Amino acid sequence: MAHDNSPASPIAGRAGSALRGRIRVPGDKSISHRSMIFGLLSIGETRVEGLLEGEDVLRTAEACRALGAGISREGPGRWRIRGAGIGGLAQPGDVLDFGNAGTGSRLMMGVAGSHPITTTFDGDASLRKRPMRRILDPLAKMGVTVVSEAEGGRVPLTLRGPLETLPITYETPAASAQIKSAILLAGLNAPGRTTVIEREATRDHTERMLRHFGAIVEVTPHGPDGRSITLQGQPELRGADIVVPGDPSSAAFPLVAALIVPGSDIVIEGVMMNPLRIGLITTLLEMGASIERLNERDEGGEVVADLRVRASRLTGVAVPAGRAPAMIDEYPILAVAAAFAEGTTRMQGLHELRVKESDRLAAVAAGLAEAGVEHAIEGDDLVVHGHGIPARGGGRPVATHLDHRIAMAFLVMGLATREPVTVDDGAMIATSFPTFIPLMRELGATIHD
Ligand code: S3P
């Protein structure tokens, strides 16, 4: 577990043979968290297939249990949740510890905060650094009391919900599906209509699942790139079946690995192609990547495809700021791809990267520096200069700061650099992609302690 005081376990990626084979990545993290949460808020039984059994999601499951859900694991990825229903949450007996999970903690603040119970939220050293004011501010408008908080509006913090939650209209100050979702989930227990306005559309899994479970949600365009989402409060959500598609944010790692390791040719099966999640694929295609979308089909309300990926000569591109919401978690691995491309890649408008599991802008830059990759941070932009040849690699172990995506990105980099790349810790990879190392090895990658 990525616990604050567990010893770090350094691991390295090194160049070897071409990557070959077919793999399936675990279920989508965003949908997996939400499956547990919607299961808790429904009446009756929710059955989930393909759940991501990573530490982050298991923490959310524990929290849902503490709030009154009956949760059982029926087999690998197969779970059943018996809900407590909106308005029916129990007072938890203990602190809810979300570990590394920003999504789990923030969404559950909306869920628990909108009920007349007192709930304490905590997490690991990474989560304790992350800003929660962005959730607490709209919740306060809905009548939620912040009983206590760590300095700067961080966890550990305690919320007490009102007897009756107030519906609000709120424009999110950042393009964040977590803020949007926390408000909509709180709005479930408010009478009347709760509206969230976002200037840039972010992942829409909450809206889709609200409808799937029986809520009435209206979505209208707002400005050139935004949306206005209105939820009719206090619906009766009914338990539903969910098939969780493969996580595009996890698929990103073997995908880029196959692009940069010479001679590679792989297939990643069943990857979710939700348009609000595939900014990385759009960008890599612009860079000249060979990525084929095969066998497109509908699975559980989302389009999925098998991705055939072949090693490719990449060219640097400018990535517009407006694409950030559709690839917010993919910048570390895009920076790795850019290091192997010919020319300059400019990734624009990355301010939100500073408040992820780590300050990802700084962490990526530090890792690139260790590997001898020319780069710069210019305002909120990350600029990477590639020369179309393998980067040097080597250097000191990359500092991961308890960030799974920093660890995976630099391990992938080491598969194609001249010298191996070591990361200072790989334990936290289990938060989102517990099978990352075995799957990469199955493709032929050399990743070792
Ligand atoms: C997520 C939203 C994103 C993303 C995170 C998952 C979600 O965070 O980085 O990994 O499931 O809603 P923000 O909403 O803070 O951008």
Q: What is the pLDDT of residues 121-177, one digit of tens each?
A: 999 999 999 999 999 999 999 999 999 999 999 999 999 999 999 999 999 999 999
Task: Please give the distance, rounded to the nearest whole angstrom, from the Cα atom of residue 171 to the centre of ligand 1.
Answer: 17
Average per-residue pLDDT in the chain? 97
358 falls in which pLDDT band (50, 70, 90)?
very high
- Give the closest residue to 157 by CA, choosing from 206, 108, 85, 86: 108
DSSP labels, 272-309: E--GGG-HHHHHHHHTT-EEEEEEEEEETTEEEEEEEE
The average pLDDT across 94-100 equals 98
Residue position matching structure tokens 């299961």: 39
Write out the DSSP string of 339-400: HHSEEEEEE---GGGGGSSS-HHHHHHHHHHHTT-EEEEETTEEEEEEESS---B-SSPBP-
The CA distance from 441 to 424, in Å, is: 19
Specify the pTM: 0.98
Q: What's the token pair of residue 432?
A: 């989102």
The stretches of 150-238 forming alpha helices (DSSP H) are 177-187, 205-212
CA-CA distance, 245 to 410, in Å (whole number)?
25
**Per-residue model confidence as pLDDT tens digits over 212-238:** 999 999 999 999 999 999 999 999 999
Query: Does 352 contact ligand 1 (Cβ within 6 A)?
Result: yes
Q: What type of residue is 301?
A: G
Angle at 326 between CA 265 and CA 20, to 5 degrees: 10
| Residue 176 CB less than 6 A away from ligand 1 | yes
Q: Is the CB of 60 under 6 A from ligand 1?
A: no
User: Which of 203, 272, 356, 431 is the best mutation target for the ligand 1 pocket, counting ligand atoms within 8 Å of the beta carbon and taking the most?
Assistant: 203
30 touches ligand 1 (CB under 6 Å): yes
Q: Using one digit for the tens of pLDDT, what is the confidence trace for 378-436?
A: 999 999 999 999 999 999 999 999 999 999 999 999 999 999 999 999 999 999 999 99
Assess whether pLDDT exceeds 80 at residue 441: yes
pLDDT confidence bin for 300, thresholds 50/70/90: confident
Residue 306 falls in the annotated catalytic set: no
Average pLDDT on 6-17 reads 91
- Give residue for tokens 């080491």: 414
pLDDT at 5: 55
- CA gap 332, 399 in Å, rounded: 13
**From the CA of 395, how far away is ligand 1's center (Å)?**
31
The predicted pLDDT at position 334 comes to 99
Is the pLDDT at 305 greater than 70, yes or no? yes
